[in-house]
């Protein structure tokens, strides 16, 4: 067995560059995630630390090098506006990265300023916390600190630094970087590190690379099923934004779908709909194929064919994960293949009738809406007791998702200095399954005919 690096900094230096954050003028803590800090065993430190203006003793901040396929095209990337302050071991023994986002320029900044505006950082904070409350694997948000400095976008905007907590920041794109630019030994070191951190059982496999590919395939299939079940649209599923920890990462132009439509796109830059809601499972498969190609130098002989065979497992793996999640939303335990038709016919009805995705499941908990009567006959036949089914549905169908029209107005208010709508909304999205919030404005779909709000990458 090969020996594994203990921390990311034990990997050869081309994987990272030592880089200090650039101090900011006037750091002020805007939101601190006390529950998360406790869970992680991270003490409250001066605001200046979380803005990158003051260093943490023994910390060696670094920017990670990576590449990636952006909208299908290979590019050299790297942390252009983020720095890992260090790895932290939680009281539970988990190793996490503590990363600042918006902390200033790095060798990877290209023409960017290395900075972040307040509203996009608050969006990441809110949506990642909502995803966590919904039970979806995700990076977490520990803090948002304002910098007292404007960032120049189309207009000057208030600047901020987000502290992100992640299982790691190893991406498909990190493997692409190693394979393309660093050679087989570096690639092997990265693989052993990723395995040690995320899938130790793979270390003793006949082919660790194949075992790790399979591990990532399983975690991505499960993650996609989870996203689909809550109506989440990531918006920019480039290979550099797919984390091999299996967590949702990089909340840019992401949003939750209101009325059901597989073609739903929010992102202003996704003009072709490559990352539309309904395409996400396929794109994850595509990204896994990129991972497999990056691993090829470690797969000699017939293992190449085996890698192809592993990739071919994805559609079935995703379908069964999706089936379990979706069937649970209509109160079915132990879903079987035949349930796909029942689920699909409900989704088709939603699309034809322009129904709100999240509300439809809640409505079915209360009664049978007129336009779903014929569908409900088959549903009742399948579940037997609607009462029992409905009880189960209450545990999986959210009342509260961070609806985009609400997110936008909360962020807009925060940008103008009023944080109250944001903190109110944060409170609501943290209790997504609480039936007492059924009448809350956060549970309401936008009025019919409201145009879909366009979201931006926020760079
Ligand atoms: P993202 O769309 O956030 O995944 O970022 C894509 C790439 O652009 C990454 O390499 C980022 O580090 C880089 N980037 C994004 N915003 C900035 C910025 N303001 N300054 C420098 N680099 C940036
Ligand atoms: Mg990214």
Distance, CA 230 to ligand 2 centroid (Å)?
Answer: 22
Same domain, 162 and 110: yes
- The catalytic residue among 47, 79, 97, 240 is 240
Same domain, 228 and 310: yes
Residue 235 CB less than 6 A away from ligand 1: no
Same domain, 186 and 150: no
What phi, psi does 237 have (nearest 5°)?
-80, 45
The reply to whether 116 falls in a domain is yes
Q: Is the full-model pTM beyond 0.85?
A: yes
Same domain, 153 and 108: yes
Q: Residue 153 class from Cβ within 10 Å (0-12 exposed, 13-18 middle, 19+ buried)?
A: middle
Q: What is the pLDDT of residues 412-455, one digit of tens each?
A: 999 999 999 999 999 999 999 999 999 999 999 998 778 888 88
The reply to whether 307 falls in a domain is yes
Last residue of a domain, one of 290, 322, 354: 322
Same domain, 160 and 232: no
Residue 160: helix, strand or coil by DSSP?
strand
Residue 325 CB less than 6 A away from ligand 1: no
The reply to whether 377 falls in a domain is no
Quote the pLDDT of residue 182. Answer: 86
Distance, CA 82 to ligand 2 centroid (Å)?
Answer: 10
The reply to whether 93 falls in a domain is yes
Same domain, 155 and 185: no
Measured CA to CA in angstroms, residue 430 lies from 404, 427, 435 at distances of 16, 5, 13
Last residue of a domain, one of 131, 166, 201: 166
The reply to whether 278 falls in a domain is yes
Q: Which of 16, 22, 107, 112 to mutate for ligand 1's pocket (most ligand atoms within 8 Å of CB)? A: 112
Q: Of the given ranges (96-105, 178-187, 235-244), which has the lowest mean pLDDT?
A: 178-187
What's the whole-number mean pLDDT along residues 356-374? 97
Measured CA to CA in angstroms, residue 9 lies from 86, 87, 189, 449 at distances of 9, 10, 12, 52
The CA distance from 207 to 98, in Å, is 31
What's the whole-number mean pLDDT along residues 144-166? 97
Same domain, 218 and 309: yes
Same domain, 293 and 186: yes
The CA distance from 404 to 257, in Å, is 8
Same domain, 302 and 224: yes
The DSSP bridge partners found for residue 233 are 255
The reply to whether 112 falls in a domain is yes
Give yes or no: 240 in active site.
yes
For the residues of 193-256, what is the DSSP string, one character each?
HHHHHH-GGGGGSSSHHHHHHHHHHHHHHHHHHHHHHHTEE-S---GGG-BTTS-B---SS-EE
Which atom of ligand 1 has the smallest separation from the CA of 70?
Answer: 6
Measured CA to CA in angstroms, residue 56 lies from 30, 49, 241 at distances of 20, 7, 27
Q: Which of 81, 174, 248 to mutate for ligand 1's pocket (most ligand atoms within 8 Å of CB)? A: 81
Residue 78 CB less than 6 A away from ligand 1: yes
Same domain, 140 and 185: no
Contacts of residue 68, Cβ cutoff 8 Å, sequence gap at least 6: 74, 75, 77, 171, 172, 173, 176, 238, 239, 240, 241
What's the whole-number mean pLDDT along residues 317-324? 98
Counting the structural domains of the chain, the total is 2
Residue 115 CB less than 6 A away from ligand 1: yes
Q: Which ligand is nearest to the CA of 82?
A: 1
Distance, CA 69 to ligand 1 centroid (Å)?
Answer: 14
Q: Which ligand is nearest to the CA of 123?
A: 1
Which atom of ligand 1 has the smallest separation from the CA of 238?
Answer: 4
Same domain, 101 and 136: yes
Quote the pLDDT of residue 1. Answer: 37
- Confidence category of residue 3, pLDDT binned at 50, 70, 90: low
Distance, CA 360 to ligand 2 centroid (Å)?
Answer: 33
Please say if the pLDDT value at position 42 is more than 90. Answer: yes
Please say if the pLDDT value at position 252 is more than 80. Answer: yes
Domain containing 136 equals: 22-60+80-166
The reply to whether 449 falls in a domain is no
Task: Give, as residue ranges, everything with CB less than 5 Å from ion ligand 2.
Answer: 241, 250
The reply to whether 111 falls in a domain is yes
Last residue of a domain, one of 322, 337, 363: 322
Same domain, 226 and 306: yes
């Amino acid at each position: 067995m090969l020996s594994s690096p203990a921390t990311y900094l034990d990997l050869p230096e081309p994987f990272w560059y030592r880089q200090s954050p650039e101090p900011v003028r006037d750091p002020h803590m805007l939101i601190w995630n006390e529950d998360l800090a406790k869970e992680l065993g991270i003490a409250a430190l001066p605001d200046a630390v979380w803005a990158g203006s003051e260093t943490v003793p023994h910390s060696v901040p670094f920017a990670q090098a990576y590449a990636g396929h952006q909208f299908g095209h290979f590019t050299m990337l790297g942390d252009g506006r983020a720095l890992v302050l260090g790895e932290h071991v939680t009281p539970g023994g988990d190793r996490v990265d503590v990363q600042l986002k918006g902390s200033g320029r790095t060798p990877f900044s290209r023409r960017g300023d290395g900075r972040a505006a307040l509203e996009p950082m608050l969006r990441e904070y809110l949506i990642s916390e909502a995803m966590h409350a919904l039970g979806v694997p995700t990076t977490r948000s520990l803090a948002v600190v304002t910098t007292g400095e404007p960032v120049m976008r189309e207009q000057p905007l208030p600047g901020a630094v987000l502290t992100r907590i992640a299982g790691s920041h190893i991406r498909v794109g990190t493997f692409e970087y190693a394979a393309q630019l660093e050679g087989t030994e570096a690639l092997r070191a990265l693989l052993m590190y990723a395995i040690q951190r995320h899938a130790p059982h793979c270390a003793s496999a006949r082919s660790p690379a194949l075992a790790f590919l399979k591990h990532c395939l399983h975690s991505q299939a499960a993650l996609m099923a989870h996203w689909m079940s809550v109506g989440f649209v990531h918006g920019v599923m480039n290979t550099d934004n797919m984390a091999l920890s299996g967590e949702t990462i990089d909340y840019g132009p992401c949003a939750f779908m209101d009325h059901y439509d597989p073609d739903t796109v929010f992102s202003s830059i996704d003009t072709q709909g490559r990352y539309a809601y309904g395409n996400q499972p396929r794109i994850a498969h595509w990204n896994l194929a990129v991972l497999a190609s990056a691993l090829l130098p470690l797969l000699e002989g017939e293992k190449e064919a085996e890698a192809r065979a592993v990739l071919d497992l994805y559609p079935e793996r995703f379908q069964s994960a999706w089936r379990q999640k979706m069937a649970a939303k209509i109160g079915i335990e132990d879903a079987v293949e035949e349930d796909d038709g029942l689920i699909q016919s409900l989704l088709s009805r939603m699309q034809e009738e322009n129904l709100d995705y999240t509300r439809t499941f809640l409505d079915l908990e209360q009664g049978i809406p007129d336009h779903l009567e014929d569908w409900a006959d088959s549903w009742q036949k399948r579940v037997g007791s609607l009462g029992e089914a409905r009880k189960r549905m209450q545990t999986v169908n959210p009342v509260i998702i961070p609806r985009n029209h609400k997110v936008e107005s909360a962020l807009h208010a925060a940008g103008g200095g009023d944080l109250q709508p944001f903190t109110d909304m944060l409170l609501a999205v943290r209790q997504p399954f609480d039936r007492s919030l059924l009448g809350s404005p956060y549970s309401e779909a936008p009025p019919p005919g409201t145009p879909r709000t366009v979201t931006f990458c926020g760079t």
